[in-house]
Amino acid sequence: MSYMSTLRAFAVSGALMMPGAAWAQQVEINFYYPVAIGGPVTQIVEDLISRFEAENPDVKVNPIYSGTYSETISKALAAFRAGQPPELAVMLSVDMYTLVDEGAVAPIERFVETDEDRAWLEGFMPVFMSNSQTADQTWGVPFQRGTTVFFWNKNMFEEAGLDPDVGPQNWEEVVEFAGKLTKRDASGNATTWGMQVPSSLTSYWLLQGYVAQNEGKLFELSGDQTYFDSPEVVEALEYWVSLAHEHKVMKPGVIEWATNPKDFFEGKAAMITTTSGNLTNVKNNAPFPFGVQILPEHKKRGAPTSGGNIFIFEGVDAEKQEAAFRFTKWLTSAEQSAEWSIKTGYIAPREDAWETAAMKTYVEEFPEALVPREQIPFMVPELSTYENQRVARVIDDAIEASLTATKTPAQALADAQAEAERILRNYRN
Amino acid sequence: MSTIALPHQERGASFWRLVELVGCYVLGLLWIMPLLYAVWMAIHPPEYEVRFDLFAPLTLDNFIAAWSAAPFARYFFNTFVLISVILVAQFVICTLAAYAFARYEFKGKTVIFMLILLQLMVMPEVLLVENYRTMVRLGLVDTVLAMGLPYMASAFGIFLLRQAFLTVPKELDDAARVEGAGSVGVLLRVYVPLARPVYVAYGLVSVSYHWNNLLWPLVITNSVSTRPLTVGLQVFASPDQGVQWSIISAAALMTSAPLLIAFLLFQRQFVQSFMRAGIK
């Protein structure tokens, strides 16, 4: 190590240098990533990184597993405030406003220089970009994105006298089919529910699907306005609640995300909605032929996006940000995007990824993988506002109160809107 | 059993004894149920998670899958180092502080003790950012010491030991001094031995807390060579996809096994210590 480079190392990083981190010609960057799905994600990430490093010997990427999404943002923001942020991290796309508000992330446009860079950035599907852009700039790069899809048990359809190859196409059919599919024992207790929609944790996400199908919207893209008490939203929630309380075809109360697919495998639920990330899980574990389709329509089709973006942090030197950008671009370009999608079940957010040879072979073998993509034209961006975690909590609580019948949907949503208003008021000029 | 053999005139008493016994077994069974269920799920294939079948095929695949999902051997070692470092530091710091608060008069004693008690009211999570900043300044990010440092001066430990030391008769202290023991000698020969049950009880609470602690270790560490078991366990929490209960159960049993075994081996001592120390 020369005298100059030692000096430079001190000048650039000073006290921020991690103990033991070697300073060579290489640029070293830290990459926080959460694991939100089953399977050997850690190995897939490490494998991708080692190939990137082989192509870019001047960059060393340290993959750092950072728990769930919420732990990842806690860790990244704590590190940022302490002056030692990671160079890049995968966090929920909906946390964009929070991150921008903190001044924690850098706009991607700053690094886009060549025509090739521009083509790469423009290659993302617009619906995934709407959760990634604000104030005319891009803050997050779509990486592990998903949506909700609809699964049904074909054997049970046959038993109930339904065509096993056609799922319900609209809200009324869901009720009708679910009525036929719900089975009860002699004492009237359900042994199989016709329909199950998960409602623990981020239940606003499921509500958003119903709202989009009802031609309503939950929030404004500027991130400072919600419409929880609008008639479209109230109707949507009333429909959801009616499945359990009025039509009695869905398990009453809160349905856990984690056990919903299990109930489906065990034959306790004949139809479920869940994330597209479950495709591989269902394919491997359902002991019966299953059908999968996009969500049933009401006034129109509709479903929310979901998942994580890659963010590049401020507070690190430009050279490292540049390396982080190169890695981001590599990881989200057509080939890697297709590979990541095939191995994990996330939707490849770029048109050109679907054109790759690997992807084409994959959808030939497993045509169900095309279903989430079919939904893309109908997708709306996931709820994302300033103080997103608090606002999401407010609407989640309203949904839970409605499903457990402690409040009427209209009352619960009016309360939620008032609370969201109180939180977001400060963010309007 | 023995209750049946009791003399005739004590029937009333034996009836209540029986109720008590049955109550104990029911409560015990309720308590152990989740553990038994975890064992059931861990040793059977996933299809039997919610189906009870006595002759379901046994398997160790879940343990193998869990073990290979993360570098658990290293994580075990790290957790072991972490809890040892914390426990030793807590014992030394808390003993000295408690001794001072129990037996010495100094200016501002009450105020300082109140300040320490105040620490009990503050959730460690609130201090996440500030603690992180401190570790950056100390250059300790991603070290075992960083994971343990915020917990070493434990307010709970100081409080507990102070109360224990206060119950030690002054006469014993005086007698030891007459025999020629200095301050440290008195502490080590009189106070510490008498407070032994408190040490055992506090040690158990501390070890089980740090064995299970996740957020702070996850935030302050980055590499496999420092991270504890809980971080490895977290890999199995896959909220987007539903949970694989059998593998999670296997992993949870595997990681809590050392604690469970230690507890079973030293059960009698632990229970006695808790009774004497008066903490639950």
pLDDT by residue (tens digit) across B136-150? Answer: 999 998 999 999 998
In this structure, the answer to whether residues A174 and A313 fall within a common structural domain is no
Per-block average pLDDT, block size 10, for chain A (429 residues)? Answer: 43 43 72 82 90 93 90 92 93 91 92 93 91 88 92 94 92 93 88 91 89 93 91 94 92 86 90 86 87 93 92 93 95 93 88 93 90 91 89 93 92 94 87
Strands, E assignment, A164-241? 183-184, 190-196
What residues of chain B, 221 to 260, have a C-beta less than 8 Å from chain A? 222-223, 231, 234-245
A362 in a structural domain:
no
A22 Cβ under 8 Å from any chain B Cβ: no
* Chain A residues touching B133 at Cβ < 8 A: 81-83
Looking at residue A5, its pLDDT comes to 44
Contact A229, A395 (CB under 8 A): no
In this structure, the answer to whether residues A215 and A322 fall within a common structural domain is no
Q: Which of B26, B42, B23 is nearest to B252 (CA)?
A: B42
The shortest CB-CB distance from B241 to any of A38, A79, A201 is to A38
B221 in a structural domain:
yes
* Chain B residues touching A151 at Cβ < 8 A: none
* Chain A residues touching B132 at Cβ < 8 A: 78-79, 81-82, 84
Contact A74, B129 (CB under 8 A): no
pLDDT category of residue B2 using cuts at 50, 70 and 90: very low
In this structure, the answer to whether residues B36 and B115 fall within a common structural domain is no
Tell me the three state secondary structure of residue B66.
Answer: helix
B31 in a structural domain:
yes
* Chain B residues touching A38 at Cβ < 8 A: 236, 238, 241-242, 244
B102 in a structural domain:
yes
Nearest CA in chain A to B50: A266
Looking at residue A38, its pLDDT comes to 67
B19 in a structural domain:
yes
In this structure, the answer to whether residues A84 and A167 fall within a common structural domain is no
What is the radius of gyration, based on Cα positions, of chain A?
23
The shortest CB-CB distance from A74 to any of B142, B219, B238 is to B219
Looking at residue B11, its pLDDT comes to 65
In this structure, the answer to whether residues A44 and A155 fall within a common structural domain is no
pLDDT category of residue B37 using cuts at 50, 70 and 90: confident
Of the residues B195, B217, B234, the one at which a domain ends: B234
A65 in a structural domain:
yes
Question: How deeply is A413 buried, as exposed, middle or buried, from its count of CB atoms within 10 A (0-12, 13-18, 19+)?
Answer: buried
Q: Which of A275, A284, A289 is nearest to A375 (CA)?
A: A275
A351 in a structural domain:
no
In this structure, the answer to whether residues B56 and B77 fall within a common structural domain is no
Q: Which of A311, A303, A317 is nearest to A275 (CA)?
A: A303
In this structure, the answer to whether residues B81 and B217 fall within a common structural domain is yes
In this structure, the answer to whether residues B221 and B153 fall within a common structural domain is yes
Contact A30, A53 (CB under 8 A): no
DSSP label of B253: H
Range of the domain at B135: 72-234
Looking at residue A283, its pLDDT comes to 84
In this structure, the answer to whether residues B41 and B100 fall within a common structural domain is no
CA A268 – CA A183 distance, rounded (Å): 9
Name the percent of chain A in helix, strand, coil, to the closest 5: 50, 20, 35
Strand partners, A152: A271, A291
pLDDT tens digit sequence for A26-36: 899 999 998 87
pLDDT tens digit sequence for B179-217: 888 888 999 989 999 898 889 889 988 998 999 888 899
From residue A406, how far is each of A196, A253, A409 by CA, in Å? Answer: 20, 10, 9
In this structure, the answer to whether residues B99 and B230 fall within a common structural domain is yes
Q: What CATH number should be reported for the domain holding residue A158?
A: 3.40.190.10
A168 in a structural domain:
yes
Q: What is the Cα A12 distance to its own chain's centre?
A: 36
Q: Which of B125, B129, B133 is nearest to B214 (CA)?
A: B125
Q: For the ranges A144-148, B52-56, B175-179, which has the lowest average pLDDT?
A: B52-56
In this structure, the answer to whether residues B81 and B186 fall within a common structural domain is yes
Dihedral sign of CA atoms A247, A250, A253, A257 in order: negative
Number of Cβ within 10 Å of residue A55's Cβ equals 9
How many cross-chain Cβ pairs, A to B, lie less than 8 Å apart?
Answer: 104
Query: Do the chains contact at A68 and B234, CB–CB below 8 Å?
Result: yes
Question: For testing the chain A interface, which of B240, B244, B245 should be mutated: the one with the most A CBs within 10 Å?
Answer: B240
pLDDT tens digit sequence for A333-391: 999 999 999 888 889 999 999 999 999 999 999 888 899 989 999 999 999 898 888 99
What residues of chain A, 332 to 391, have a C-beta less than 8 Å from chain B? none
In this structure, the answer to whether residues A28 and A101 fall within a common structural domain is yes
* Domains: count for chain A: 2
* Chain B residues touching A262 at Cβ < 8 A: 49-50, 242-243, 245
Tell me the three state secondary structure of residue B226.
Answer: coil
* Chain B residues touching A372 at Cβ < 8 A: none
Distance from B246 to chain A by nearest Cα, in Å? 12
B110 Cβ under 8 Å from any chain A Cβ: no
B224 in a structural domain:
yes
In this structure, the answer to whether residues A119 and A252 fall within a common structural domain is no
Distance from A391 to chain B by nearest Cα, in Å? 20
* B242 pLDDT above the threshold of 70: no
Looking at residue B10, its pLDDT comes to 59
A175 in a structural domain:
yes
The shortest CB-CB distance from B244 to any of A38, A68, A75 is to A38
Looking at residue A103, its pLDDT comes to 92
Q: What CATH number should be reported for the domain holding residue B177?
A: 1.10.3720.10
* Domains: count for chain B: 2
A337 in a structural domain:
no
CA A190 – CA A244 distance, rounded (Å): 12
Query: Do the chains contact at A262 and B69, CB–CB below 8 Å?
Result: no
From residue A427, how far is each of A91, A106, A131 by CA, in Å? Answer: 22, 20, 18
B124 Cβ under 8 Å from any chain A Cβ: no
B70 Cβ under 8 Å from any chain A Cβ: yes
CB within 8 Å of B147: residues ≥ 6 apart: B82, B216, B217, B220, B221, B226, B228
In this structure, the answer to whether residues A293 and A327 fall within a common structural domain is no
In this structure, the answer to whether residues B106 and B194 fall within a common structural domain is yes
A371 in a structural domain:
no
Is the complex ipTM higher than 0.85? Answer: no
In this structure, the answer to whether residues B27 and B86 fall within a common structural domain is no
Nearest CA in chain B to A261: B242
Distance from B138 to chain A by nearest Cα, in Å? 9
Looking at residue A375, its pLDDT comes to 92
Of the residues B234, B258, B274, the one at which a domain ends: B234
Contact A95, A89 (CB under 8 A): no
Query: Do the chains contact at B142 and A18, CB–CB below 8 Å?
Result: yes
In this structure, the answer to whether residues A84 and A165 fall within a common structural domain is no
Looking at residue B241, its pLDDT comes to 60
Query: Do the chains contact at B140 and A82, CB–CB below 8 Å?
Result: no
B266 in a structural domain:
no
The shortest CB-CB distance from A36 to any of B140, B141, B240 is to B240
Looking at residue A119, its pLDDT comes to 92
Nearest CA in chain B to A73: B219
Looking at residue A6, its pLDDT comes to 43
Contact A78, A48 (CB under 8 A): no
In this structure, the answer to whether residues B19 and B103 fall within a common structural domain is no
Range of the domain at A390: 147-302+381-427
Distance from B154 to chain A by nearest Cα, in Å? 23
In this structure, the answer to whether residues A400 and A287 fall within a common structural domain is yes
A254 in a structural domain:
yes
Q: What is the Cα A171 distance to its own chain's centre?
A: 24
Backbone angles phi, psi at A310, to 5 degrees: -95, 130
pTM score, whole prediction: 0.81
Query: Do the chains contact at A30 and B222, CB–CB below 8 Å?
Result: yes
Nearest CA in chain A to B232: A67
* B240 pLDDT above the threshold of 70: no
Looking at residue A284, its pLDDT comes to 81
Query: Do the chains contact at B240 and A285, CB–CB below 8 Å?
Result: no
In this structure, the answer to whether residues B151 and B190 fall within a common structural domain is yes
Query: Do the chains contact at A262 and B241, CB–CB below 8 Å?
Result: no
B118 in a structural domain:
yes
In this structure, the answer to whether residues A297 and A312 fall within a common structural domain is no
In this structure, the answer to whether residues A416 and A285 fall within a common structural domain is yes
In this structure, the answer to whether residues A401 and A320 fall within a common structural domain is no
Over residues B155-182, mean pLDDT: 90
Looking at residue B1, its pLDDT comes to 43
Number of Cβ within 10 Å of residue A111's Cβ equals 18
Question: How deeply is B125 buried, as exposed, middle or buried, from its count of CB atoms within 10 A (0-12, 13-18, 19+)?
Answer: exposed
Place of tokens 């290979």: B68
* B21 pLDDT above the threshold of 70: yes
In this structure, the answer to whether residues B136 and B204 fall within a common structural domain is yes
Query: Do the chains contact at B50 and A274, CB–CB below 8 Å?
Result: no
B187 in a structural domain:
yes
b/e per residue A123-148 (b: at least 16 CB within 10 A): bbbebbbbbbbbeeebbbbbbbbbbb
